[in-house]
Structure 1
Amino acid sequence: MTVDVLDDTRIVPISNGYRLQETDTYVVEVWHYLFNYRLIVRLSDDPVSVEHGYCYFGRGLESLAQAVAAGLEWTNPLHTHPHGFDKQAF
């Protein structure tokens, strides 16, 4: 069985990447950066400040897939780390 991630309604395109989770408390997104992808978590009521950021090195599909998969399965992102990141940016 294969899963088409393009049909996954949890993945919402945004101007600089993809929104993966949105609750009343937090938002998890993957942002495109110059040399990598960054998985971020921010508070739902503050669209400007970012609480945590985790780098997934590279700009290829493999790096994007790793970041998206980690963001979709990430539980309690304000107090835990996502799976498989290369570096914690902040």
Structure 2
Amino acid sequence: MTILLVAFLVMNVVGLLIMGEDKKRARKHQYRIRERTLWLVALFGGAVGTTAGMQLFRHKTKHVSFKIGFPVIAIVELYLLIRFLL
């Protein structure tokens, strides 16, 4: 269980940081992080972090797929984590 919690925490920190980094690169007109990478981080346990990063950095909030998709995945991941821990 400890490994699961650590992995969940790490992926969500990565999700938060990757959204911030992509926003920073967007402002500087630099090479961006692929949307596929953002989705993979979210799908592999980082959806809470990517959703938080989306709101915190106001990044990808106009994209309906991100605006709806990340929170839905986050809810599913939190549900599965709670079910697994109980």
- TM-score tier (shorter): under 0.3
TM-score (ref. length: structure 2): 0.28
Higher relative contact order (CA 8 A, sep 6+): 2
Is the helix fraction higher in 1 or 2? 2
The normalised TM-score by structure 1 is 0.27
